Structure 1
Amino acid sequence: MSRIYDNWERLVAAVLRKQQLWELFHDQSRSPIPEVHLHILKVPLQSTKFSPPFELEDLLRASAKYLGKGTFGSAYAAALHYGTKIVIKRLKLVSVSEPQFRRHMEVVGNIRDENVTTLRAYFCSKDEKLLLYDCYSNGSVSSLLHGENGENRASVDWPTRMRIAVGAARGIAHIHTQIGGKLVHGNIKASNIFLNSQRYGCISDLGMAYVAATAFIPNSYCYAPEVENTQNVSQASDVYSFGVLLLELLTKKSPVQVSGSEAVDLVKLANSVNRKKWIAKIFDTDVQKNRTVERQMEKMLQIGMMCVAKSPKRRPRMSEVVKVIEDSMLIMVNQFSVRTKMNKLMFFEDARYTFDLEDLLRASAEVLGRGMFGVSYKVILENGITIVVKRSKEVVVAKKEFQRHMEVMSRMQGHENVSELRAHYYSVDEKLLVYDYHSQGSVSALLHGKRGSGRKPLDWKARLRIAIGAARGFAHIHKQDGGKFLHGNIRTSNIFLNEQRHGRVSDVGLATLSSPTTLLVMRTAGYCAPEVMDIKKISQASDVYSFGVVLLELISGKRPIHTTGDGKVISLVRWIETVIREEWTDEVFDAELLRYQHDNEAMLQLLQIAMGCVDSVPKRRPKMADVLMELEAISETETVSSPSVE
């Protein structure tokens, strides 16, 4: 133990040498103190575990544990004097210049995703390169599967392994979208994957292959055959490594040598086994509980073998892998428990549907996506009716509160700008909501979908209709429950088009029923008002702020959190404030709107309304009813005979 602490003391002493103390989270308006070499990446204080602020001297006083030596350096876990735990990675063999290192760390530090471990700060000098991360108490996936130092751990069940797989896949897919779709992880393996707060896989050690030149260890079989060192990594090799991870989750065999065991070439093993005897030969028997699990394991094996194709060109893209995994793991029949089948759906009085849970179980289902509060399915019943079933995982209230919320929902049924909730189900294990299906997709998909020759852009009048329709829906919601009801999760992915192609809002009020951890995810999306620090702070005023962001999204065509031309990640509100301050207002508007010059005055009015909605002071924001009146006034004053542009 003394040797470990001595190493730690020398490490931190090197960092402290000739450095001034600097608070971790400083006011953004303050100029950096000269000669400070601990670079703090700008993360909102409420979303970080590095709180309260600490000084560099705190590191020296911290109790420390040597975690181990990895491909790119050694890692320490440090417990600060007030209890916060952090991980500090000391890099070796850094092969780029200090300016290049700093630039790359800023890129990595700007990546915000629930399935990617956030880089909080870094230190850079001639002799030392350190990275500071949050500490995950559950340990790595490698330690969960294989134990520490070769000691066996408790069995990891199949649902947990599926969450690890889909979370890691989402994280890698998100990484691959960065830097214009060119960023690579380069070192994907189970020891670099942890479990986030929702117990989904979370990718760590991002992008070190760019800054550290090293050859990969020969007794590791988690790298693609074309990769010999960090110079050969690619997104295709990331896909290969993820395929090996899937095989590791299926077999519980390690592709990297650990103490007391040998590394196994899982790809060679899988290819050598008779296809009809997969389960008997290589699957981990600890998780083979029933035929349903076996079918899912077989599907995961197929995905894994596609990923580990010898030719890089034959491997799928990571975004494609995510979709296949989600489709396979979230089939309705495999998700409902036996107890769910014994209960009944509760329909509202005016519901025109006649079906029950058994009909849902027999229906074909397609995963539409995972939202803030759960997974949505497109379900086609045997009678041809198409519905959306939302399986809400984040609802934590008791049944009495849930039913009261449903009663309020029933009283707002029939409004053309609010998606009608047709039925609901509540049990300890399952909360289901049944909605109508909107074939045209969400406004988010219409705005940000693939832009190509086959895509029909949203013109100015279409965007104004969406804004007015959504405002009508939100104003109607705010009248409910004695004028106290709210939406809580306003965003373009929760707005659809009705028959008149006006905005129609969905997902009403679920935020008030959800767990506090949901808010951390909500804040990263760019719609959350600045005063909302916990679920209890959500209000009608914060709804107005979120709707203001939606208006800015319609005007600019940009996402609420986007990357600027120089690679910086910034909120849409902050970016537009900067553009307006510099009097470059024309840059705010989506390029697809520039051809509607006759509507320029109306666009400016909409921008003005939006900026009023996103005022940082809640009391200065207008009521939703007033926003609606202003939007309708824009529509009324527009010239009916304005020439259309094809």
Structure 2
Amino acid sequence: MKTMMRDNNTSIRTRMKVLTMAVLLLLCLKMAFAECRDGVAKNQAEETTTSSFKNRRLKKICLSIGLGILTGLISALLFAIFLRHFVRFINKSPTLKSPILFSPKISPKTLKSALSNNPQLLGTNPSSTYYKAVLDNGLVVAVKRLDGGGADRAARRRMLQELEAIKGLRHRNLMSLRAYVCDSNGCSLVYDYAGAGSLEDAVRRGGADGLAALNWEARLRIAVGIVKALHYLHFSCDPPRLHLNLKPSNVMLDSELEPRLADCGLAAISPDFRRPASGYNPPECFQNCRYTDKSDVYSFGVILGELLTGRDPMGPFVGETSSGGSLGQWLRHVQQAGEAREALDKSILGEESEEEEILMAMRIAGVCLSDLPADRPSSDELVSMLTQLNSF
């Protein structure tokens, strides 16, 4: 009996131990689950906080970008309005009246004084007037006054832009622009003064003091100088430039009879310029108003023909040819008829070798005066042709 009671007590204690261990295990599991749940909740809270922070930061960035774009648009609009009013103000402002100077020998004071003291009148045409002026330092200059366009501000702006381009042209056979003064009525252009006058002056004087005083060597020198100036304009300038109004009155001669072309490019910007029906203008000028480097070559051909024959290209040629009444048609006619020598200016006929050069020059003039621009030589080819006639 006692033994049975001991066994029961042992079994009960064993069960109690097992139950106690089970309870402890459950408590541990519960605590572990609670800690795990708290950790997950904490992580979720931290993730929620981080996501919220990122969302707030993204919103701030987007807002900053939006405000920056809006500020930029407003600033651009204000700048455009300011620029528009500034341009209007500039357009309403008077043209610069102070002298624009390129030569160190000319000061603003002496130039203003010379232009205001009734300079000597040299000549005039429908769009300009020419003066001779002596500066305070003794320098003699030629002044060309371009009038017109007082109310056309766009035309004045174009004129100033062209003058800025022309002032950079420098060649031995060009009249360099030394300075200019512009006002509301036009511009005064300042050049070096050519004491020998123009080629037109030599042609008009006649007799021993005119064209007859120029022998073949002098006339060829003039022709070569003109072609070299054209070559500079057509091939050395960037962009290439045209003379547009080549004629004897725009060929100035220095004391050594070296030619210098004047009025380069000014025909295109003269406010009241209208191209006249001149014997120096090419056919395409009247047909479709097109003007190219070959048009300058045609004008040179007329001058060369005048130097060779002494004939005025504006004179009557109708009836002297079977095909028309221009100098070019007449030159081609006399060459085909074998009468080229008879057509030459008798004052340049001399040695036989010179006559061969002169007749070759006449053929060159005839080619320059071709009706089609494509049939005319370029100024580059003309330099080679004419310099081979003599040594320059």
Q: Shorter-normalised TM-score: what interval? A: 0.5 to 0.7
Q: Contact 1:444–1:493 (CA<8 Å) still a contact in 2? A: yes
1:450-499 C-alpha deviation (Å, 9 max, x unpaired): 32579861000000110111111111112355343100001111112245
Q: How does 1:460-475 map to 2 (within 5 A)?
A: 460-475=216-231
What amino acid is aligned across from residue 549 of structure 1 in structure 2? V
SS in 2 for 1:378: strand
Q: Contact 2:281–2:299 (CA<8 Å) still a contact in 1? A: yes
Given the alignment of the two structures, is residue 442 of structure 1 paired with residue 198 of structure 2, yes or no?
A: yes
Q: How does 1:171-320 map to 2 (within 5 A)?
A: none
Partners of 2:377 and 2:207 in 1: CA distance: 34
Report the TM-score, using the length of structure 2 for normalisation. Answer: 0.67
Question: Are residues 479 and 429 of structure 1, via their aligned partners in 2, closer, same or farther at CA, if it must alter by over 3 Å?
Answer: same
Question: Are residues 512 and 436 of structure 1, via their aligned partners in 2, closer, same or farther at CA, if it must alter by over 3 Å?
Answer: same
Greater C-alpha Rg: 2
What amino acid is aligned across from residue 526 of structure 1 in structure 2? G
1:457 aligned to 210, 213, 221, which one?
213
Residue 182 of structure 2 corresponds to: 426
1:262-302 C-alpha deviation (Å, 9 max, x unpaired): xxxxxxxxxxxxxxxxxxxxxxxxxxxxxxxxxxxxxxxxx
Given the alignment of the two structures, is residue 560 of structure 1 paired with residue 313 of structure 2, yes or no?
A: yes
Shift of 1:543: 0.6
What amino acid is aligned across from residue 176 of structure 2 in structure 1? E
SS in 2 for 1:426: strand
Given the alignment of the two structures, is residue 408 of structure 1 paired with residue 165 of structure 2, yes or no?
A: yes
1:385 aligned to 135, 139, 145, which one?
139
Partners of 1:542 and 1:458 in 2: CA distance: 27
Partners of 1:453 and 1:486 in 2: CA distance: 32
Question: Are residues 491 and 562 of structure 1, via their aligned partners in 2, closer, same or farther at CA, if it must alter by over 3 Å?
Answer: same
RCO comparison, higher one (Cα < 8 Å, 6+): 2
SS in 1 for 2:207: coil
Partners of 1:351 and 1:552 in 2: CA distance: 40
Unpaired runs of 5+ residues, structure 1, are 1-338, 638-646
1:550 aligned to 303, 307, 323, which one?
303
Given the alignment of the two structures, is residue 612 of structure 1 paired with residue 367 of structure 2, yes or no?
A: yes
SS in 1 for 2:124: strand
1:420-445 C-alpha deviation (Å, 9 max, x unpaired): 11011233312221111000011121
Residue 10 of structure 1 corresponds to: none
Q: Contact 1:496–1:504 (CA<8 Å) still a contact in 2? A: yes
RMSD over aligned CA atoms reads 3.0
Given the alignment of the two structures, is residue 626 of structure 1 paired with residue 359 of structure 2, yes or no?
A: no
Partners of 2:348 and 2:205 in 1: CA distance: 16
1:353 aligned to 92, 96, 106, which one?
106
Partners of 2:104 and 2:335 in 1: CA distance: 48
1:599 aligned to 342, 354, 358, which one?
354
Partners of 2:291 and 2:318 in 1: CA distance: 33
Partners of 1:486 and 1:346 in 2: CA distance: 24
Q: How does 1:512-591 map to 2 (within 5 A)?
A: 512-514=268-270, 518-519=274-275, 521=276, 523=277, 525-533=278-286, 537-563=290-316, 570-591=325-346
SS in 2 for 1:619: helix
Q: How does 1:50-129 map to 2 (within 5 A)?
A: none
Partners of 2:251 and 2:327 in 1: CA distance: 18
Question: Are residues 426 and 538 of structure 1, via their aligned partners in 2, closer, same or farther at CA, if it must alter by over 3 Å?
Answer: farther
Unpaired runs of 5+ residues, structure 2, are 1-93
Q: Name the % identity.
A: 29
What amino acid is aligned across from residue 370 of structure 1 in structure 2? T
1:374-422 C-alpha deviation (Å, 9 max, x unpaired): 1111112343221111111367763332233223222222x11111110
Question: Are residues 428 and 539 of structure 1, via their aligned partners in 2, closer, same or farther at CA, if it must alter by over 3 Å?
Answer: farther
Residue 236 of structure 1 corresponds to: none
1:155-189 C-alpha deviation (Å, 9 max, x unpaired): xxxxxxxxxxxxxxxxxxxxxxxxxxxxxxxxxxx
Q: Contact 2:132–2:140 (CA<8 Å) still a contact in 1? A: yes
Question: Are residues 458 and 377 of structure 1, via their aligned partners in 2, closer, same or farther at CA, if it must alter by over 3 Å?
Answer: same
1:328-352 C-alpha deviation (Å, 9 max, x unpaired): xxxxxxxxxxx99x8211112x442
Alignment length, in residue pairs? 293
What amino acid is aligned across from residue 482 of structure 1 in structure 2? D
What amino acid is aligned across from residue 168 of structure 2 in structure 1? R
What amino acid is aligned across from residue 217 of structure 2 in structure 1? K
Question: Are residues 586 and 381 of structure 1, via their aligned partners in 2, closer, same or farther at CA, if it must alter by over 3 Å?
Answer: same
SS in 2 for 1:501: coil
